[in-house]
């Protein structure tokens, strides 16, 4: 039998990282280190946001929240003892001034607009997924049962909703200038599965909010 051929200088016949040049191996090592640190940082941030309040989360709470929200937000309602069993949509309409008179538009389903933009889109934006939903949760959490704002956050939530609606409508609508807007929620219970003994009336309930006058501060760009 003939003796085995010696490997040629330069690592011919070698496999994997060992076959790379020294600069390439250094680059791979740095890349692996960066990815490892990034993963460790992400896991630590998510853990701190989820874990019970502790010294680190108290001291760096703003940093943790700014990293987690909204991209890595988790909604625990799915796992709660009473999971969310209803669909909530936000509708809006406006009164517009046209030819010396005013008219009221029909209701526009803003949530359906976001749903249409997300459907079939493999990479929908976080604005389409979360902006309106989170804004409405913010609004509801800071208003009482009569629709009155509670404190400064209540007033801020109204301004936020107005800005979102005006971004969708624009300063002019149906050939006229938008003077007032109104929003409402449409809450529809999710029907139980066929195998369940639970009985739920699948009927949409509407909660209409007061009319809001539109000012230059509510327009895109803050009226600038």
Q: Give this prediction's pTM.
A: 0.64
Vertex 202 angle, CA 196 and 207, to 5°: 140
Vertex 42 angle, CA 41 and 48, to 5°: 90
pLDDT for the residue 162: 94
Q: Give the 3-state secondary structure of 16-74.
A: HHHHCCHHHHHHHHHHHHHHHHHHHHHHHHHHHHHCCCCHHHHHCHHHHHHHHCCCCCC
pLDDT for the residue 168: 92
Listed in sequence order, the residues at least 6 apart from 176 whose beta carbon sits closer than 8 Å to its beta carbon are 96, 97, 98, 99, 102, 103
Burial of 120: CB neighbours in 10 Å, binned 0-12, 13-18, 19+ = exposed
How far is Cα 28 from Cα 36, in angstroms, rounded to an integer?
Answer: 12
The answer to whether the beta carbons of residues 98 and 200 sit under 8 Å apart is: no
Give pLDDT tens digits along the chain (224 positions): 455 545 545 445 456 777 778 888 888 889 999 999 999 999 988 888 777 777 887 888 888 888 877 667 665 555 555 566 788 999 999 999 988 899 999 999 999 999 999 988 888 888 888 899 989 999 998 988 877 888 888 999 999 999 999 999 999 988 899 999 999 999 998 887 777 777 777 889 999 999 999 988 888 776 55
pLDDT for the residue 24: 85
pLDDT for the residue 222: 62
For tokens 């640190």, name the residue: 37
pLDDT for the residue 11: 47
């Amino acid at each position: 039998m003939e003796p085995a051929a010696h490997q040629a200088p330069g690592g011919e016949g070698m496999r994997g990282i060992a076959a790379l040049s020294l600069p390439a191996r250094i680059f791979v090592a740095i890349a692996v280190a960066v990815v490892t640190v990034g993963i460790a940082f992400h896991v630590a941030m998510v853990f701190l946001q989820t874990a019970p309040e502790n010294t680190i989360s108290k001291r760096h709470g703003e940093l943790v929240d700014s990293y987690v929200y909204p991209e890595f937000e988790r909604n625990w309602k799915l796992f709660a003892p009473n999971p969310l069993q209803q669909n909530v949509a936000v509708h809006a309409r406006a009164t517009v001034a046209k030819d010396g008179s005013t008219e009221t538009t029909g209701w526009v389903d803003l949530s359906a607009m976001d749903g249409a933009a997300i459907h079939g889109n493999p990479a929908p934006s976080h604005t389409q997924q979360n902006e309106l939903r989170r804004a409405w949760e913010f609004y509801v959490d800071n208003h009482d049962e009569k629709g009155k704002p509670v404190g400064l956050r209540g007033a801020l939530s109204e301004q936020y909703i107005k800005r979102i609606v005006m971004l969708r409508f624009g300063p002019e609508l149906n050939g006229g200038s938008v003077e007032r807007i109104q929003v409402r929620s449409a809450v529809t219970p999710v029907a139980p599965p066929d195998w369940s003994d639970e009985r739920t009336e699948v009927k949409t309930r509407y909660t209409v909010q007061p009319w809001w006058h539109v000012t230059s501060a509510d327009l895109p760009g803050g009226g600038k």
